Amino acid sequence: MTRKIPHELFEKGLITEAQFQKIETITSGRVVSVFYELRTMLYLGVMLFTTGAGILIYQNIGDIGHIVSLGLLTALMILCFGFAIKHEVKYSNDRVQSPIPYYDYVLLLGSLLFISIQGYIQFQYGAFDDHLGLNTLVTAFFFFYLAYRFDHLGVLSLAITAFASFWSLTISPQKWYSGEFFSGSHLHVTAIIFSVLLSGVAVVLNRRQIKKHFTFTYLNFCMFIFFAGSVAGLFVDEHLYLVYVLLIYAGCYFAWVVAKQRKSFLFLLYAFLAGYIATTYLLAQTVFEAAPTLWFYYSILSCGGFVYFIIRYKNFFKQA
């Protein structure tokens, strides 16, 4: 909203003087919202707290003791979940407003502590060695329950991550750097199937009006995993590269449709990068083998295409 609009509305008698004064203080910049800055600081505070607690315990484990450390973490986790239950609101398929400002952060802290306790027990005692997969699956469903019951996108992300880990789909900077993005045998195929099925579930839930605001998070994870698995398939199963190229193009079309519906540049970026890699690989296997000099022209044209892409869809940046 520009500064002229409130004046025009007031002159036309569409708003009262009191309303004009309130709106004008915002459009003039005298009142600035720090909502997102405060939310970011609170989330960072939760992350730093859990990280700091883990480092403190690790460095002083001989003095504190394992049982005492576990007891303190468990007690704090119970307090967080108890606080969430005490102030819970009635479940709704629509978005639910937090009962108090810091409610979401307490629930996220409890969930992160739950993971920390599990990791502590496994690392120190190896309690889940024989049932690690089952423990991961139970954790995923527990987080899914918390996410839907308390309407929390952060916990939903933890749930999806745990569920992907159950299928051995893990992503880390070390694996990316070493070229072992999907180190297991045919794990890229698992990634593709997992992402397609989970996105299908997300679409069904969205059509049934069940937590529609969760759909973006589902699709974000699914598209990233799908394109990562498909691109990995290009290089792992070279004799089937045409299949993976077609899969990537199909995923690009789906990402394009979703991006237009949700006005999200992020999905457009996924589609553009994956489509560029697939097209480059396809040309390298066909045209460029017969005419290597075309690489030069293709590089120039592709760079120009990327610039055009940014300029053409720059408005999506503001809505991503």
pLDDT of the chain along its 320 residues, tens only?
A: 555 666 666 676 666 766 666 666 666 655 455 555 556 666 576 667 677 666 666 665 555 667 777 888 899 999 999 999 999 889 999 998 888 878 888 899 899 899 888 887 887 777 777 777 888 899 999 999 999 999 999 999 999 999 998 887 755 444 444 445 444 457 888 999 999 999 999 999 999 999 999 999 999 999 999 999 999 999 888 888 899 999 999 999 999 999 888 888 889 889 999 999 999 898 888 887 777 778 778 888 888 887 777 777 766 555 44
Per-residue confidence (pLDDT) for residue 222, from 0 to 100? 94
3-class DSSP state of 180? coil
Joined together, the tokens standing for residue 81 give 């979940």
Tens-digit pLDDT profile for residues 13-63: 666 766 666 666 666 655 455 555 556 666 576 667 677 666 666 665 555
Q: Quote the CA–CA distance of 248 and 225 in Å, as a whole number.
A: 12
**Which residues in 114-152 are b (16+ Cβ under 10 Å) and which e?**
bbbbbebeeeeeeeeeeeeeebbbebbebbbebbbebbb
Query: What is the DSSP annotation of 27-64?
Result: HTTSS---HHHHHHHHHHHHHHHHHHHHHHHHHTHHHH
Q: Quote the CA–CA distance of 221 and 267 in Å, as a whole number.
A: 11
Query: What is the DSSP annotation of 250-261?
Result: HHHHHHHHHHHH
Tens-digit pLDDT profile for residues 91-100: 999 998 888 8
Per-residue confidence (pLDDT) for residue 308, from 0 to 100? 79
Q: Quote the CA–CA distance of 187 and 194 in Å, as a whole number.
A: 10
Upper half-sphere CA count for residue 140 (Cβ side, 13 Å): 14
* Helical axes 103-125 vs 153-166, angle rounded to 10°: 30
Per-residue confidence (pLDDT) for residue 206, from 0 to 100? 94
Per-residue confidence (pLDDT) for residue 13, from 0 to 100? 67
The structure's pTM equals 0.76
Joined together, the tokens standing for residue 144 give 């899914």
Q: Quote the CA–CA distance of 267 and 41 in Å, as a whole number.
A: 26
Per-residue confidence (pLDDT) for residue 9, from 0 to 100? 66
Per-residue confidence (pLDDT) for residue 120, from 0 to 100? 79
